[in-house]
């Protein structure tokens, strides 16, 4: 019986919850595992493991998770405590907090970016300067300028 309880605990993290294409959720979504969004969520999204937003996915609200892979649109604060991947089709409007980030060419990110190991600490005390702010305009080379 103790083994059954251990399997149930592990399985809750392995669960993937899906908001399918054409589906709209009005309200908050929360899971211990992973949430995949192919439709629309108007509310906050909180996942213990990961949030994956497909190309047609759209979240109007805050996202809080360990890892995030974004291909669609996010309007709100995005917190990925461990890793954030913004794919070429992603469009982010809002504040981003993460430890590590991969930004593909073509991704759109309009807002502030806070990076560093103290992401969780910085969130509990906004504006304390514990994270490093990154100006993406200064770090992304201008392809037109490279040809000159």
pLDDT at position 12 is 64
Q: Is 122 inside a domain boundary?
A: yes
pLDDT, residue 128, reads 37
pLDDT of residue 120: 60
- With CA atoms as reference, report the closest residue to 103 among 92, 93, 94: 92
Assess if residue 120 is contained within a domain. Answer: yes
Query: What's the pLDDT at 46?
Result: 96
Domain count, the chain: 1
Residue 127's pLDDT is what?
42
Is residue 145, in this structure, part of any structural domain at all?
no
Tokens of 57: 């996915």
Residue 27 lies inside a defined structural domain of this protein: yes
Q: What does the pLDDT read at residue 119?
A: 72
Please indicate, yes or no, if residue 142 is contained in any of the structural domains: no
**Residue ranges for the chain with pLDDT beneath 50:** 1-3, 122, 125-148
Range(s) of the domain holding residue 61: 13-133
In a domain, 1, yes or no: no
Burial of residue 78 (number of CB atoms within 10 Å: 0-12, 13-18, 19+): buried
pLDDT of residue 122: 46
Q: With DSSP H G I counted as helix, E B as strand and the rest as coil, what are the percentages for the chain, rounded to 5?
A: 20, 45, 35
144 domain residue, yes or no = no
- Tell me if 6 is assigned to some domain: no
Rounded mean pLDDT of the chain?
81
């Amino acid at each position: 019986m103790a083994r059954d309880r251990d399997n149930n605990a592990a399985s809750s993290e392995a669960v993937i919850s899906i908001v399918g294409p054409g589906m709209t959720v009005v309200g908050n979504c929360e899971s211990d595992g992973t949430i995949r969004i192919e439709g629309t969520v108007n509310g906050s999204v909180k996942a213990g493991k990961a949030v994956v937003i497909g190309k047609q996915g759209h979240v109007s609200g805050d996202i809080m998770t360990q890892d995030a892979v974004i291909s669609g649109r996010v309007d709100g604060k995005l917190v990925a405590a461990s890793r954030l991947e913004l794919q070429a089709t992603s469009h982010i409007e809002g504040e981003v907090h993460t430890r590590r980030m991969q930004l593909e060419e073509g991704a759109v990110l309009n807002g502030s970016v806070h990076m560093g190991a103290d992401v969780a600490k910085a969130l509990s005390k906004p504006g304390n300067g514990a994270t490093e702010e990154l100006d993406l305009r200064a770090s992304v080379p201008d392809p037109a300028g490279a040809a000159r």
